[in-house]
Each structure stands twice: as C-alpha cells, then as structure tokens.
Chain A
C-alpha cells in the first residue's frame, strides 16, 4: 500500500476501514440469516404443540424422537442418493454437453440457447410440468409413446417409490446440468489451442489429452459448479414436494421436504427444527472438508 505521510490517526482509521466496507453485508446477513438460525436452534430444543404453540424447553427430546422414526433414516439415505446422483450425473452430462458445444458446427448458437432453457425456468414450473408429463393415465409421455407405436399399453412410470424417486432425480438432473455445462464451457474457452496442437504433434490420444490437459485446467470450474450444486441440490425443495410430497409412505423424502412435512403437515415443529439442525450439521461438515482441502491446495 502506498502511504506518503502516514500519521497515527490515519493508521487507526485504515485498520478500521475494512470492517466499514463489510458492514452492509454483515448487517444484512446477521439480521436475515443468523437471527432465524438462532430461532431454529431454540425451537429444536423446545416442546412445540401441534398448533405451533411453543411450550418451553425440553432438552434433546426432539432429536431422540426424530432418531426413533424409521422415516428419518430412509430420508437421510434418500438425501445422499439424491444429492450424489443429481450432482454426479449432472456434472458428467453437463461436461459431455459442454465438450460437444465447444465444437464448431452449424446451429451451435441455437443449441446453446436451448440448453439455457431448463436453467432459466422456475423450479416450481418445471416440477409441475414434469408431474403432468409422467402421469400414467393422461400424461403426455404415454400418449406420445403410444402414438409413436413404442408402447402398446400405458406404462405406470411411478409404480414404486424407487421409480418415483428416480423420476424426481431425473427432473433434478434436468434443471441442474445446464449450470455445469456453462461453467465448463467458460473454462474450455479459456484453454489455449496451442496446448492441444502440441499434444496432437506428439500423437496423443483423445483420452490422453482429456486427462493431461483438459481436466486439470478445468478443475477450478468443476470445483465451483460441484460445490454450488451440492448446496443447491441438497436444499432443493419444489421438485420433490410438487411431484410426490414424499409419498408413498414417506419413502421419497429428502431432509428438506421431510422437515417441511413435519413442520407444516404433521404439526411437529420441534421435530422439524431438529431435522433442520441435523441437515445444517451435515452440510457444515461437508463445507469444512471443502475449506480444508482448498486451503491446503492454496498452500501448495
């Protein structure tokens, strides 16, 4: 920093300055996020009536009761499947599509525009339309497939909890992959062609180029999209809530829809708050791993 005639006063002011710059942001987040977090923690240790009335502290009773519910463990398992499947497949799919879109071909602009569509559409709208499409009795997928002669009789796409959940994952992937595509695409466009030309001279194979040049250079982009997607997908609510509401028999919940149902359909706000805190702890744990890893990389 450039300081010509530094007086003590100016130094004191300078050391105070960064906090002034941070102040608006801190204020906003403390009031709007930290205060509700505090409330949720408090409720998770309180006895709450079905009507929402708070009746006083009751220790860890809510947590113990949540752990006793088999539905909670199913939900926990679903949440991991959901997050890993959606983020994993979206990343793979998004990556492949980005590689394709990085090629020169007629109509590339059009395709790129099309890929934006799922990203730009509200989740709630996507969920409703997909629910309508996969309905087995009047949904348009069955009608279309039958018109095309691919099926003779209507297929029940959501016959079991597993297929229902698989469809929800598909919708999740459908709305998530464009973000990955554009993250990767931006990285690909930053890679110097000369690197590939040099590799071509050496006679490197496609896979060799992929693992030696493309992937290492794309690592930052992949990290950004993966980390953000994990957070968004883990916390995603409208898809599952619109399509199945966790039915049948709480088999297709993730933590977020489960706690919403506990809180607002079953009237168990205390349990819901406990599930919130558990979800928070899981994500915080993942985030700290990420932070430790990225700090270590920076040190390297």
Chain B
C-alpha cells in the first residue's frame, strides 16, 4: 500500500504510534523505576523517579532468593514442553494432513475440545493424577502437562502448515527411494520450517508464562519456575515491590528478545500455518 500521504495523515500517523508506544511501554517504565526505588520510597507519592537510584536492587534479587534457579527451571519446563509438544505434534499433524483414515473428524474434534478445558479448571483432577503417577512436585510433571495442554494448538498450526505445502515434492522424493519418514524429514519439514518455528515459539511462551499449575503442583523451592518464584517477594508481613519488579523485568527480557529475533518468521509462520485452520 504505497500511496502519497497528506501532511495531516502523516502527523496523525506519528501521533498514533507515539501514543501507542507510550501506553505500551508505560508499565515497563514503571516496572523499571519502581525496581530502582528503595523500600522506603515505595509509598512516597511526591516523586515519579526514585530519589536515590538503587541499582543494587538488580543485584540483590539474585541473593535475596534463588532467582537463578527459578530461571533455569523455567527454561527446562518451557524447553522440555516445547520439544515434547512438537515431537508428538509433527507426526500427528502429518497424519492428519496427508493420510486418509477412519475417525479423522472425531480426532480433530477431540483435539479442539481438549483446548476448551483450561488447566485451572482441571486443577484438582490434574493434581490427583500427578500424585498417582508420582510426578507432583517435579519438573517432568510440568513438562508433560504443558506439552499436553499445548498439543491442540501445535497440531492445529502444523496441520495448516503441512496442508499449505503441496504433497508433490514428497511423492517425488518417494519415487527416488525415500520412505515416508525420510520424505517427511528431508522434504516437508524444511519447507514447513517457518510454521514449525511459529509453533515452537507459541508453545514456549505459553509454558514460560504458565502460572497456575506450577503454583499448585510445585512445593519444593528448588523446582519453582520464575512465575511462581517471584511470589517470595510477597512475604507474610510485607511485599518487596522493588524486588518483585526487578525480577519481573529479568523474567520478561528473554522472552521479548526471543520474539524480536523471530518476528519475521512469526509473521510468515502465521500466514502459512494459521490460515488453513
């Protein structure tokens, strides 16, 4: 859409995006300057900026609580769940997009239905299950759960991606002597890479940001992900807002960087993957 803009349109455009950026960044700005305040200043309402910049807060959090451990746990949970969800999702999506079989419609329906129940709704059931298979209070349990609750989305996106790619190339590869698995790996997956990346990121973000299951299932401090871990700053007698926000900033940064790095592929993946839902 390249067209000449009138001057007022240009002004309006910049005004709009400026307001947009200010509104979006405002909470992050608050997070930053509050993370810089000392505890005494937290309730002082005369100043927007801290009187004394406490850069040390950003250092202190690492010793005030096992924040680093929480980060590693979040990484393990989100990474593990992502791998598992994709590993299970690729063959399923392949079967759904390339093969004809009885019960396909029912399976697709069941997949969508499974997305209907949020983990919160099933909390009691999930907890019972996890206790029975001895996986409550473990990282593996969270990995399995996050992978399962993201299956529907994974299959849905991947299936769309696969359908949008013509099966001719794979058939050609098969004539050349590849078996089905070989054709999938050598031909289809590379072509579907953008869609797979999108899916990967989505599952990763969902698992990284998951809060309620981890809150309920994990009781050992050493297994807590960062979303639950920041609760340590909600003490019995006081809330350490400055630490809470400093840690929150750290928890947000990796995900934002991840998003920025793959923004292009994200958009491409959504085009090829999402539209054939």
Contact = CB atoms under 8 A, between A and B. Distances in A.
Instruction: Say if the two chains contact directly (CB < 8 Å).
Output: yes
Given A120-B258, A196-B1, A263-B123, A238 B277 contact: no
B91 A22 contact: yes
A39 B258 contact: no
B191 interface: no
B99 A17 contact: yes
A192 to B, nearest CB: 11
A103 B1 contact: yes
Given A116-B259, A122-B252, A39 B118 contact: no
Interface in B227-277: 227, 230, 241, 244-245, 248, 251-252, 255-256, 258-260, 263, 266-271, 274-277
A61 interface: no
Contacts of A119: 205, 259
A283 B134 CA distance: 31
Contact of A128 (B47, B124, B248): B248
Contacts, number: 269
A129 B91 contact: no
Interface in A266-300: 269, 272-273, 276, 279-280, 283-284, 287, 291, 294
A28 B88 contact: yes
A161 interface: no
Interface stretch (A66-74, A178-186, A244-252): A178-186
Q: How extensive is the interface on chain B, given as a class?
A: 35 or more
A35 interface: yes
A18 B95 contact: yes
Interface residues of A, number: 98
A15 interface: yes
B211 A122 contact: yes
A222 B122 CA distance: 29
A117 B269 CA distance: 19
Contacts of A273: 124
A225 B156 CA distance: 13
Majority-rule SS of B interface residues: helix
B194 to A, nearest CB: 10
Contacts of A227: 277
Interface in B141-158: 144-145, 147-149, 151-153, 155
Contacts of B251: 122, 125
B174 A2 contact: yes
B244 A128 contact: yes
A204 to B, nearest CB: 13
Contact of A25 (B26, B89, B113, B244): B89
Max chain A Cβ within 10 angstroms of own Cβ: one of B34, B84, B151, B276: B151
Contacts of B211: 122-124, 237-238
A284 B171 contact: no
A183 B120 contact: no
Interface in A8-47: 15, 17-19, 21-22, 24-29, 31-40, 43
A115 B259 CA distance: 11
A56 to B, nearest CB: 16
Max chain A Cβ within 10 angstroms of own Cβ: one of B10, B34, B89, B274: B274
Given A111-B20, A116-B263, A235-B121, A287 B42 contact: no
Nearest to A32: B148
A104 interface: yes
Contacts of A80: none
B52 interface: no
B140 to A, nearest CB: 12
B91 A125 contact: no
B169 interface: no
A97 interface: yes
A284 B107 CA distance: 15
A133 B252 contact: no
Given A129-B30, A129-B245, A113 B260 contact: yes
11 contacts: A18-B95, A19-B101, A24-B88, A36-B128, A40-B124, A102-B1, A111-B20, A116-B260, A186-B268, A283-B116, A287-B113
Given A24-B88, A32-B149, 20 more contacts: A17-B95, A18-B104, A21-B94, A26-B107, A28-B84, A29-B148, A34-B114, A36-B126, A39-B128, A100-B20, A115-B20, A115-B24, A117-B252, A125-B227, A125-B251, A132-B245, A174-B24, A183-B270, A272-B124, A291-B109
Interface of A: 2, 15, 17-19, 21-22, 24-29, 31-40, 43, 97, 100, 102-105, 107, 110-126, 128-130, 132-133, 137-138, 140, 142-144, 147, 174, 182-183, 185-187, 189-190, 193, 196, 200, 220-221, 223-225, 227-228, 231, 234-235, 237-238, 256, 259-260, 263, 269, 272-273, 276, 279-280, 283-284, 287, 291, 294
Q: In the A-B complex, list the 4 residue pairs whose CB atoms are closest, starting with the nearest.
A: A36-B125, A235-B118, A32-B148, A39-B125
